[in-house]
Amino acid sequence: MGHLRTDTVQRPDPFPTAGGSVTVEPWWRPTAGGVLVSVRVTPGARRSEIIGITDGRLRLRIAAPPVDGKANEAIRRFVADAFGVRRAAVTIVAGDRGREKSVRILGVDRPPPDLLIDRRG
């Protein structure tokens, strides 16, 4: 079981705590009240899971088919669970009909530390 890594950028922490700075990876950035996450989704998968980071996007497999908004609803549910927030805190702000999406998550200041642990084990 290992961590997936990409290039990181040090930026001042917009939500200062004891640390003073936060490592921001290209697939997410802090916004007012939360974070904005760039994702690439593969719908219709056997199960929903995080598969890594590619080209500055968090890669997700989602079990729901891309029909009648079912995949988007499954993305909101999956991301809310992964970030530990209510589903109402997750909004798809761009890419509603495509595989590449921008997802806003309110109520957090960074992704959870265990988000990129290989969960396929």
- Per the prediction, the chain carries an average pLDDT of 81
pTM summary value: 0.75
Q: pLDDT for 3-57, tens place per residue?
A: 444 444 444 444 444 444 555 568 899 999 999 999 999 999 999 999 988 888 9
For residue 94, the cross-strand partners are 102
Tokens of 109: 């200041």
pLDDT computed for residue 54 by the predictor: 86
Show the domains of the chain with their CATH numbers. Answer: 27-106 (3.30.1200.10)
CA distance from start to end of the chain: 7
Helix (H, G, I), strand (E, B) or coil at 6: coil
